Amino acid sequence: MMVVGWVDNMSNNDYSPAANTLSIAFDNGNGVGDSINFTYHGVITEGEAMNLQEDYGYHPAGYGFYSFRVVTLDPNEIEGVTTWECQRSCD
């Protein structure tokens, strides 16, 4: 996979600025079976993740939205990593 960029889409929230970054990694293909992997450095909801994906140009209704996962060390913490995937093509 190749990481292509970092996006700061949540800077107006109460999280620390360093935690509010989104990295997007593409696999090597462009077909329906190929994925885009999103990693948000912070804890967000499934709805917020869908909005970020749509803001990046991949609407969940066309490109899908799957493998949503939030990883924290403690369930009561707001610090963690949120990941999900979508397809590279809406065909």
Where are the domains positioned within the chain?
2-87
Query: pLDDT 10s per residue in the chain (91 long)?
Result: 334 444 444 444 444 435 578 888 887 777 667 899 999 988 899 999 999 999 999 999 999 999 999 998 776 766 789 999 999 888 6
The pTM of this model reads 0.73
User: Would you tell me how many other CB atoms lie within 10 Å of the CB of residue 12?
Assistant: 7
Q: Which two tokens stand for residue 48?
A: 């917020």
Residues 6+ apart with CB under 8 A from 52: 7, 9, 10, 22, 38, 40, 44
